[in-house]
Structures are given as structure tokens and as C-alpha cells.
């Protein structure tokens, strides 16, 4: 779908040019001046169409640390660009900022430039977006970095903007925050009290085996931290 329309000048007959200028100098001068390219679809309309909310059935859940996030597939950006701008009305250019193999996985960061242009490559609008991805397969790392950057650039055209309001985080909605509460057993609470009451290093060291035998990684981590801090205090 094209949204540029260029009005072309009629061909000029060089043999009759002098005669035509003599007969109609003012009209001939107007015809000789190239007319500007006209964008038939206003940017306001493009932005409005791009800004249509993404259907919730296309949302995808993402687990990041202890937060559940809601995002959307990058294919939505490609579909809207093709349907609203046109297949020959846009293109991207990428610049790799960082790539490295870290711990058996690939880390890639890139800058994606989204260019909206007419079929003759006359640039109309340019938007940029940064993206990064950490993945085992190098192609997944590059693909993910590109998608992230493209979505951030497309947001400036209105695509997915509803996910950037105050109740959302970056380009993905914060759906909920998990509050993991460890069930602290009574024996662990009693052991913590003994650590606090230890009067010397010898008494404290007698509790070390019990601290290391506590069930639950989170609980054991807290008690070990308490144990080490008390050991420093009693050693002064």
C-alpha cells in the first residue's frame, strides 16, 4: 500500500519549447517547476492506526526474576508496518553495539534504525530503538536483540504504547509481583535466638553444624549471614 502520490510534469518537446514560451511564458514557467511530493495519508492518521491497542489474546507472559510480565510478539510490529505503511514503505538498519560469548551463552546488543520512506527511498521519518538479548544460540541472541530494538523504535510510532503507561514497565506490563515467603520453622527461629545470645566464639562455633543442617536454602542463607556477623562481633 502506497501513501505517496507524485504529480509528474508532462514531457517537454524541445522543438516547440521556444514557441510555447513565447506564447505562454507564465504558464510554461509554472510547468517547469517540479511539484513537491504529497503524502496522501497524514501522519496523524498513521499514528492513530499504529496506536490501536494490541488484542489481549496476543499477550505473552514473561518470567523475569521474581516478576511476571506481559509482552507481545514482535510479529505484530511487522504486520502493522506492512498493513499500514506498505511493504515498500519502510525498512530497518542495524548496528551491532556488543557481542560476546559469556559462560557458554551469547550476549548481543544492537541499535535498530526504523526508516519510513517512499518507494524512491526518500526518507520521511527515522526512529531508533536499543535492544539486547542473552541466549544459548547465537542466532537467538541476534534475533532477540533485533526484536527488542524494533519494538522500542515502533513504540515511537504508537505500536504497543499502551504498555508504557504508569502501570507498566518498559515495553511489557507488570502483571504481578511474586512475594515468596519462606515458611521459617520454629527450630530455625530458636537457633537464631541462640546465635544472638552466644557470649563468645566458642559458644557460637558449637552452633555452626546446626546452622548448616537447616532445611531451606533461603532460611539457611539468612542464618549463615547472622552466624558470620556474630563471629566478627565476638572476635573483636
pLDDT of residue 131: 94
Structure-derived torsion over alpha carbons of residues 30, 36, 42, 47, reported in degrees to the nearest 10: -170
What b/e string do you get for 132-145 counting C-beta neighbours within 10 Å, with b at 16 or more? ebebeeeeebbebb
Using the predicted structure, report yes or no on whether residue 20 has a pLDDT greater than 70.
no
69: in domain: yes
Q: Which three cell numbers stand for residue 202?
A: 566458642
Q: What is the count of structural domains for the chain?
A: 3
pLDDT of residue 98: 93
- Confidence band of 184 (pLDDT split at 50, 70, 90): low
pLDDT of residue 38: 39
pLDDT of residue 142: 96
39: in domain: no
pLDDT of residue 21: 38
159 and 105 in a common domain = yes
- Confidence band of 18 (pLDDT split at 50, 70, 90): very low
Q: Which three cell numbers stand for residue 172?
A: 511489557
151 and 131 in a common domain = yes
Element (H, E) at 39: strand 38-39
133 and 195 in a common domain = no
106 and 78 in a common domain = yes
Angle of helix 186-197 relative to helix 217-235, nearest 10 degrees? 10
pLDDT of residue 183: 55
Q: Which three cell numbers stand for residue 63?
A: 518470567
pLDDT of residue 218: 73
206: in domain: yes
171 and 108 in a common domain = yes
Element (H, E) at 218: helix 217-235
**Domain limits at 211?**
186-235
153 and 195 in a common domain = no
pLDDT of residue 96: 95
Average predicted confidence (pLDDT) for the chain = 75
Amino acid at each position: 500500500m502506497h501513501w505517496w502520490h507524485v504529480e509528474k510534469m508532462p514531457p517537454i518537446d524541445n522543438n516547440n519549447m521556444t514557441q510555447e514560451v513565447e506564447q505562454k511564458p507564465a504558464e510554461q514557467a509554472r510547468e517547469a517547476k517540479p511539484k513537491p511530493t504529497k503524502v496522501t495519508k497524514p501522519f496523524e492518521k498513521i499514528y492513530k492506526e499504529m496506536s490501536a491497542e494490541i488484542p489481549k489474546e496476543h499477550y505473552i507472559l514473561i518470567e523475569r526474576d521474581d516478576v511476571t510480565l506481559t509482552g507481545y510478539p514482535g510479529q505484530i510490529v511487522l504486520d502493522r508496518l506492512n498493513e499500514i505503511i506498505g511493504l515498500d514503505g519502510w525498512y530497518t538498519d542495524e548496528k551491532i553495539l556488543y557481542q560476546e560469548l559469556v559462560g557458554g551463552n551469547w550476549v548481543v546488543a544492537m541499535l535498530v534504525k526504523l526508516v519510513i520512506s517512499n518507494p524512491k527511498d526518500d526518507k520521511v521519518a527515522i526512529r531508533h530503538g536499543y535492544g539486547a538479548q542473552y541466549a544459548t544460540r547465537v542466532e537467538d541472541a541476534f534475533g532477540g536483540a533485533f526484536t527488542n530494538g524494533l519494538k522500542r523504535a515502533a513504540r515511537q510510532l504508537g505500536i504497543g504504547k499502551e504498555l508504557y503507561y504508569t502501570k507498566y514497565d518498559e515495553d511489557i506490563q507488570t502483571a504481578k509481583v511474586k512475594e515468596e515467603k519462606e515458611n521459617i520453622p520454629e527450630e530455625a527461629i530458636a537457633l537464631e535466638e541462640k546465635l544472638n545470645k552466644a557470649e563468645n566464639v566458642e559458644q557460637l562455633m558449637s552452633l555452626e553444624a546446626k546452622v548448616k543442617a537447616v532445611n531451606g536454602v533461603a532460611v539457611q542463607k539468612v542464618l549463615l549471614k547472622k552466624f558470620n556477623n556474630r563471629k566478627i562481633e565476638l572476635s573483636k
